[in-house]
Amino acid sequence: TTQVITLLEEMQQREDEDDLSRADPSSDAVLITTVYKAKGLEAPVVALLDMNRRVRVGDAIPHRAAGEVSVKVGSFQPEGWKEAKQGEEVALTEEQRRLLYVACTRARDQLVILRHDDAKLLSHLIGGWDAEAMEHEARQTLADGVEVRLRRGAELPPVTYTDETFPERDRAVDALLEAPARRGDAAMESRASRLRDAARAAARKCQRTRSVGEIVSRRRAPTVGSGVGSDGGLVVHRALEQLDWTRDVEAEIDPLVDALALELGVDEETTVRCAQVVRAILGHPVMTRARRAPELWKETPFSFHDRGRAVTGVIDLCFPEDEARTRWVVVDYKSDLPAQGSPLRARYEAQLRIYAEALLSTVAACEHVEAVLVGPHEALPARSSRELVSEEVDPALRAGVSRLLAAGATLPRAGADVGEPVIASLELAWIDEKVGLGLDLLETERAALAVAGWTMTEADTAEVGWARKAEAALREALGLAAVPDDQADDGPDVGGHDEEE
């Protein structure tokens, strides 16, 4: 009930915000609205569209005076249906007349009505006007000062169409776009630059909070294989959280999974796979160790400090294996696992290492952590490191990365955190060569990277053409020759699509 009330309030708020009576009457714009929302408005010229609808009576006719309803089911008609239908047609026709009157009277100077030859609505509603018998450009006076002119579409002169974006101005616009970027007023550019630097510095000085997912991968890799999808994964995690593993739960799995799947709108086939995933995870050897543990921590949130930032996340399962709580096991559930040794598998294992670090940092007695990745399905096809870099790098840089790789560059890391004790997040980093690309770096980060021996290329994303400039600087830092665009490998390995997964 509370959700319904909240939804209705939000709908009312949106309706209030869309109140067309607030439109600026002096604006040079076309206002598209319904007849209902047009009440109270006026315009010099009004065009009525979609005037082809007929008056139709449905299978249910209300008798308002008697408080009854006549319902037709298939070919079965209740007693008095014919008379009731005729009466409803009369009532609907009158309602259509009133709505048409409202629509027509919105026009101050000129009213344009678009209709089809087969449509009888206007002739049906406006008595004395036989539009079908009128010729093209015929005129008819309906009342004093009200003249109707009929124009048939088939007889109108052809309209000249153009594929130009800006008619008669495309060449001038193209010339402006192709011209070298020009900076604005020097004083204003300097002021804008100072404001940007101040905003970045203020943001960097605030507590930096990063989730485990953000640290390991800035964009989610696409789901492939025989898993259960994001909603199915949520069903699996919630089921494992709610089940009491200390006793036999076989009979409880299906009802619990069915209820959770129904709540999240998961289809029947995926629901069956979710139950299989839950059983497979519970049958993993590490779960036997969990049942013998002194205590179990399920879906445990954590936060710890790491070199000036707060790292947050949720651990699927962790438990101590000794009474002193010095030896721990951390478990991450996966409904589908990539192949051993694949880049995506390495990413999952990196997540687990952060979970282990979280336990070592937050549990005082913890001295040793064993990390276990649990997944029941067949391994996913191995995905290349080039694909993962393409997903994670800024879309403006993807074509440039393709050209750098074609010129002989080794594969960089995207979104790498480097530096000690100051952390700098680099868009691209060649770790072995100590060459990096930083976007909008602070002075403290530049200094720390210089001390650490990094050769840095910086880019200001507010500048026009920043990606091309960054590519040229990286090519020079890496000692690479230029590669023409048509020779760059911009296939799916690196080029890919620009949309984020």
Give me the CATH code for the 385-487 domain, please: 3.40.960
| Distance separating alpha carbons of residues 348 and 121, to the nearest angstrom | 65
More confident residue, 210 or 228: 228
Confidence of residue 420 (pLDDT cuts 50, 70, 90): low
Quick one: pLDDT at residue 464? Answer: 75
Q: How many CB atoms lie within 10 A of CB 115?
A: 18
Which three-class secondary structure string do you get for 343-408? HHHHHHHHHHHHHHHHHHHHCCCCCEEEEEEECCCCCECCCCHHHHHHHHCCHHHHHHHHHHHHCC
Task: Using alpha carbons, select from 409, 414, 307 the residue that is nearest to residue 361.
Answer: 307
pLDDT digits 0-9 by tens, 263-294: 888 888 889 988 988 898 888 898 899 999 99
Residue 159 has pLDDT above 70, yes or no: yes
Quick one: pLDDT at residue 380? Answer: 39
Model-level pTM?
A: 0.43
Q: How many CB atoms lie within 10 A of CB 250?
A: 8
Q: What is the mean pLDDT of residues 421-444?
A: 80
Least confident of 232-241, 300-309, 440-449, 452-461: 300-309
Domain boundaries, the chain: 17-155, 210-227+283-374, 385-487
| Distance separating alpha carbons of residues 157 and 137, to the nearest angstrom | 13
Q: What is the mean pLDDT of residues 126-142?
A: 71
Quick one: pLDDT at residue 391? Answer: 62
| Distance separating alpha carbons of residues 318 and 394, to the nearest angstrom | 35
Residue 93 has pLDDT above 60, yes or no: yes
Least confident of 279-283, 292-296, 417-421, 446-450: 417-421
